[in-house]
Structure 1
């Protein structure tokens, strides 16, 4: 008999005698279905479980996913982060919306969620990690509220280990972009390069945040408040930029940029300039690297860009502390001067 029951899930297990047996469940993480597959007892057991499930939607994962989107924690997220979360939450709800909350404590529940993440990773490791992070955060929120008794998605590790910390714009790439970019994008480039701020914060930055000497803003992603002294090259450009509205950065029509419109125009300018493998976000790391090469301390850099001290160290480590020839030559010159000075005073530095 061929049976088609919605949500029916199976698992094969190897028995002690070497044979394989298939166990059936009403849904992923759901109760076992009794009886032989396809038998009247099997169908009756499945229908009983399904009826209980439909009668109590508040005991399912979809209720937690929906409640989280009305929480203070969710509302405090940056607009772009909210959109990304909603996209992943919708996918999670489609896959696990009717998953029973009481099953969160079951040993095999973690395996069910990890199997789902593994399937996502076949298409994109990065998005798989993001989806897992969103689910783990929602479940952590629910656990703190007492809605569930366990979070099976804690400490799941990561598939994607790439980083853009080692991606900085070279001087030749900077020059090529600035030569062909229109005024609006050129200003955006210079603001990112001289302030080290994120794209979203710069696109929303009002003229009122600039007083001719400083730019003051609160970073939307972290809530960090930064006060950035404006270097002369950026000040010169800002002071001669016509004010076409409340925001500093506007498109060719004088209107505020949409994120998609800005990304599209930026991509076209990079293609025209022949710049590949670099993004707008890489200008943030480039700013850190330039400040480091100028002799700024890690705390000074972090104060300007809003990075944590650890992130500044990581960016510098990835980009120039062990790579920059000019700094290496400068270091050797200093050592030579110290060697000569020591020899003159009669304290010879070992060769």
Structure 2
């Protein structure tokens, strides 16, 4: 007889070798379970987890934090986002799990939460903002459901003011990297510049996703499905090894990269090439900039990189285009071609 385990949560994940595996958890955000449903070890681990679980008392923030993880909003988050949220929710639970919901309407509560964010900002301003964002989103959900009467984290602003505005890879950076870096890192650079995709998505990219003309992938962060036509330089690099199985990007041992291993190797290669001030993540913005310089519209850029139109516009307006001298040069050359001035006529 098959026993139905209440609250059991399963998540399918794509492994580094391209295969898919199902992971089981006692509940959403709960501990992972070994084996498969029905196996004695699995049942024992589930029962132990449930026995340790303490139902949160009503009227405290912990009940809202756990309630959010049982919603369709939670289910719709990308797997990577859910993992990030779980870590931050655990931090919030530790600091405010027993915070009374009735106190959320007190004007002093906003100051309490802001002081908490300021304290976390001492270690990392980005993480402090992310924690605030998660708490604000959960409270917004609870407020919309009528579970709380106020959201003290609404419109809290940010403490991180960093910008990658000037951090765009130049042609000289690209040439220096290709001249100095190990061969197994060259394809990663070309892929990033010609697709505008994130590091994680490129490290998971398999040969089956390339048909000789386009690359098809689903972005891990947003879930957006992207189809990128392959330009000539990228096609030449890919076709040299096309026909292989498994993942496209491999380390020097011909094994799939780990995220930490790739970042470490990339930093060392950049240092050896004399490249400073730019990271692999900056290649995504660099791709946006180069597409714009080539005359692509915002819609065309978004189709390739998977950004929303609003995000493309934001990148072009605030972070890259106003800093790239090549754009000014391109603009003036276009103006010259369209202008019949007296000076031009006399020359």
Question: Which segment is superposed worse, 282-291 or 184-193?
Answer: 184-193
Q: What displacement does 1:77 show?
A: 2.9
- Matched ranges for 1:293-312 at <5 A: 293-312=293-312
SS at match of 2:288: helix
TM-score by length of 1: 0.74
- Matched ranges for 1:104-253 at <5 A: 104-241=104-241, 245-253=245-253
Instruction: State the alpha-carbon separation in 2 of the partners of residues 140 and 183 from structure 1.
Output: 49
SS at match of 1:129: helix
- CA 1:175/1:95 → structure 2, altered by over 3 Å: closer, same or farther? same
2:64 corresponds to which residue?
64
Q: What displacement does 1:122 show?
A: 3.3
Instruction: State the alpha-carbon separation in 2 of the partners of residues 315 and 185 from structure 1.
Output: 26
- CA 1:334/1:246 → structure 2, altered by over 3 Å: closer, same or farther? same
SS at match of 1:212: coil
SS at match of 2:252: coil
Q: What displacement does 1:186 show?
A: 1.4
Q: Is the 8 A contact 2:78 2:223 kept in 1?
A: no
Corresponding position: 1:339 with 2:341: yes
Instruction: State the alpha-carbon separation in 2 of the partners of residues 216 and 283 from structure 1.
Output: 19
Instruction: State the alpha-carbon separation in 1 of the partners of residues 244 and 219 from structure 2.
Output: 24
**Aligned to 1:330, which of 327, 333, 347?**
333
- CA 1:342/1:277 → structure 2, altered by over 3 Å: closer, same or farther? closer
Q: What displacement does 1:118 show?
A: 2.1
What is the total number of aligned residue pairs between the two structures? Answer: 290
Q: Is the 8 A contact 1:187 1:249 kept in 2?
A: yes
Instruction: State the alpha-carbon separation in 2 of the partners of residues 160 and 62 from structure 1.
Output: 27
**Ranges in structure 2 where 5+ consecutive residues have no aligned partner:** 1-53
- CA 1:171/1:90 → structure 2, altered by over 3 Å: closer, same or farther? same
TM-score by length of 2: 0.75
Q: What displacement does 1:201 show?
A: 1.5
Instruction: State the alpha-carbon separation in 2 of the partners of residues 225 and 242 from structure 1.
Output: 22
SS at match of 1:59: coil
- CA 1:81/1:265 → structure 2, altered by over 3 Å: closer, same or farther? farther
RMSD: 2.6
1:257 corresponds to which residue?
257
Corresponding position: 1:78 with 2:81: no
Q: What displacement does 1:165 show?
A: 4.3
Greater relative CO, 1 or 2 (CA 8 Å, sep 6+): 2
Q: Is the 8 A contact 2:217 2:225 kept in 1?
A: yes
Q: What displacement does 1:292 show?
A: 1.3
Write the deviation string for residues 142-199 of structure 1: whole angstroms up to 9, x where unpaired.
2334432322111111112222244210111111112222333211111110011111
Q: Is the 8 A contact 1:61 1:96 kept in 2?
A: yes
**Ranges in structure 1 where 5+ consecutive residues have no aligned partner:** 1-53, 345-351
SS at match of 1:131: helix
Q: Is the 8 A contact 1:165 1:285 kept in 2?
A: no
